[in-house]
C-alpha cells in the first residue's frame, strides 16, 4: 500500500520554506543597480550615491600583509573560532585608546563582517517570538536578521527635528513584556546620527534593570566629525547587558574582505562561540592577518580621510538644502545624508524615477523602516564634491519635472 505521505504520479512537491524566512523582504538594491547599469551601458553619465562605500584605498600595509599571508601555510587553515589571538589583542588595544575596558581572550569574537556579527548576536541571544526594538530609521539588514530567527522587529521612530539622534524617550513607549533587545547604530547607517555618551548610558542602564540586551552597532565608529569616537565598551557597567558589533570593512576600505567583530561579556561570548562554529567556524585567516597589520601599525588610518569626508558632507548638505522642496539633515558621523523630498510618499518609486530621468542612484528611505519613508539616503563616501553638486542639480531638475 503506498504511503499516504507520498506524492501522486508526476506530482512535484514544492520545497517547504519557513514563514520566518518568507516574511523577510529583500531590499531591491539589485533592481536599482540593474537600472543604473543599463543606463551606463547606453553611455549615460550615472552618478552612484547608493551603496555604502568608502572612496579611499585600503591601507598599503593591509594589502602587503594579505599578499605575504598567501605564502604562509598557516594562513590556509582554520584559526580558532574566536579569531587569531594577535588580532583580538590588537583590536582590544585600539579600543582601549578610546576608553574601552576589554579582555581580548574572553570578550571578542572576530567575525566574517559586521552583518555576520549581528546575525551571530541575534541567533545567540534572541528567542522566536521575542520583540526587538530597532531605533528607526534603522539599518535594513538588522530588521532582516531579527525576522530570520523568528523574532518580531518593533520600530521606534526618531524625529528628524533632533537630527535622528535617539533618546530613551523614543524607546520606552515601545517596551512590552516581550521586549528582549534594543538595537542602536552609532554613527548611524542610514542617518549619520551619533548618540552622546550620556544618552547611551541612560539607554543601557534603563534596559539593564529590565533585563533587556542593548546591541550597539559601531561599524562607522571611526567616522565621527564633531566629536571624538567613543565606544560603548567604554561605558560603566557595559558588561551588564551590552553587545557591540563592529567592522573593519568601512574603516579600512575592505568591504569585500569580510572582517568584523562582536564584543560581549565572557558568558555571552562562550555561548556565541557555539553559533560561530556552526555558522562560519572562523573569519578568513589571511584577512585577519591583514587587519592585524593595520591595527598594530596605524589603527587611526581612517582619520586621514576625515577632512575630505567632512568637506563632502558639508558640500552635499548645503547643495541639497538649496534645492526647493528638499530638506537634508546634517550628519555627525558615517557618510550618509537623509534627504527629505516634499510630497514624496513612495520613496522607492522616486528612487527609480531619479535613475531613469536623471541617472542619479540613491536608496529609498522606506528600506530603512516606516520612519524613512519620504526620504532618500545619499551616500557620499565615494563621491567627489563636484559630483555631489552635479547630483543635486539633477535632483532639482527631477523635482522641477
45 and 66 belong to one structural domain? no
Choosing from 271, 300, 329, the residue where a domain stops is 300
Residue 177 makes CB contacts below 8 A (sequence gap 6+) with none
- The reply to whether 24 falls in a domain is yes
Q: Which three cell numbers stand for residue 40?
A: 551606463
Choosing from 273, 300, 327, the residue where a domain stops is 300
Total domains present in the chain: 2
Low-confidence ranges of the chain (pLDDT < 70): 1-10
263 and 383 belong to one structural domain? no
- The reply to whether 110 falls in a domain is yes
Choosing from 300, 332, 351, the residue where a domain stops is 300
Residues 202-239: pLDDT tens digits?
999 999 999 999 999 999 999 999 888 999 999 989 99
396 and 274 belong to one structural domain? no
- Helix or strand or coil: residue 165? coil
CA distance 153 to 173: 15
CA distance 134 to 369: 9
Tell me which residue range forms the domain holding 237.
60-300
Cβ pair 98, 231 in contact under 8 A: yes
- The reply to whether 8 falls in a domain is no
Cell numbers 528612487 correspond to: 351
At residue 26, the pLDDT reads 85
At residue 8, the pLDDT reads 64
Amino acid at each position: 500500500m503506498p504511503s499516504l505521505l507520498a506524492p501522486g504520479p508526476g506530482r512535484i512537491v514544492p520545497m517547504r520554506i519557513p514563514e520566518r524566512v518568507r516574511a523577510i523582504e529583500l531590499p531591491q538594491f539589485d533592481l536599482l543597480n540593474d537600472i543604473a547599469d543599463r543606463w551606463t551601458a547606453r553611455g549615460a553619465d550615472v552618478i552612484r550615491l547608493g551603496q555604502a562605500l568608502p572612496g579611499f584605498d585600503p591601507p598599503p600595509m593591509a594589502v602587503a600583509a594579505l599578499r605575504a599571508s598567501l605564502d604562509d601555510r598557516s594562513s590556509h587553515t582554520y584559526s580558532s573560532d574566536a579569531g587569531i589571538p594577535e588580532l583580538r589583542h590588537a583590536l582590544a588595544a585600539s579600543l582601549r585608546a578610546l576608553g574601552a575596558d576589554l579582555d581580548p581572550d574572553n570578550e571578542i569574537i572576530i567575525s566574517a563582517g559586521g552583518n555576520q556579527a549581528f546575525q551571530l548576536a541575534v541567533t545567540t541571544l534572541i528567542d522566536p517570538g521575542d520583540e526587538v526594538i530597532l531605533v528607526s530609521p534603522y539599518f535594513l539588514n538588522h530588521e532582516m536578521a531579527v525576522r530570520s530567527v523568528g523574532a518580531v522587529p518593533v520600530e521606534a521612530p526618531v524625529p528628524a527635528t533632533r537630527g535622528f539622534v535617539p533618546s530613551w524617550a523614543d524607546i520606552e513607549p515601545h517596551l512590552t513584556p516581550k521586549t528582549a533587545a534594543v538595537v542602536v547604530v552609532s554613527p548611524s547607517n542610514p542617518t549619520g546620527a551619533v548618540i552622546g555618551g550620556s544618552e547611551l548610558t541612560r539607554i543601557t542602564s534603563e534596559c539593564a534593570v529590565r533585563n533587556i540586551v542593548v546591541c550597539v552597532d559601531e561599524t562607522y565608529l571611526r567616522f565621527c566629525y564633531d566629536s571624538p569616537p567613543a565606544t560603548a565598551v567604554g561605558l560603566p557597567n557595559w558588561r551588564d547587558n551590552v553587545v557591540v558589533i563592529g567592522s573593519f570593512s568601512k574603516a579600512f576600505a575592505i568591504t569585500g574582505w569580510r572582517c568584523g567583530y562582536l564584543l560581549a561579556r565572557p558568558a555571552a561570548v562562550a555561548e556565541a562561540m557555539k553559533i560561530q562554529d556552526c555558522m562560519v567556524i572562523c573569519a578568513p585567516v589571511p584577512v585577519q592577518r591583514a587587519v592585524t597589520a593595520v591595527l598594530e601599525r596605524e589603527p587611526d588610518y581612517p582619520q586621514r580621510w576625515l577632512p575630505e569626508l567632512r568637506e563632502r558632507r558639508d558640500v552635499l548638505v548645503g547643495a541639497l538644502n538649496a534645492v526647493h522642496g528638499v530638506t537634508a539633515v546634517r550628519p555627525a558621523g558615517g557618510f550618509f545624508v537623509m534627504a527629505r523630498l516634499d510630497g514624496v510618499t513612495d520613496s522607492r518609486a522616486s528612487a527609480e524615477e531619479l535613475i531613469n530621468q536623471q541617472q542619479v542612484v540613491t536608496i529609498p528611505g522606506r528600506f530603512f523602516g516606516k520612519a524613512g519613508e519620504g526620504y532618500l539616503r545619499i551616500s557620499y563616501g565615494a563621491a567627489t564634491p563636484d559630483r555631489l553638486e552635479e547630483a543635486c542639480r539633477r535632483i532639482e531638475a527631477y523635482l522641477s519635472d
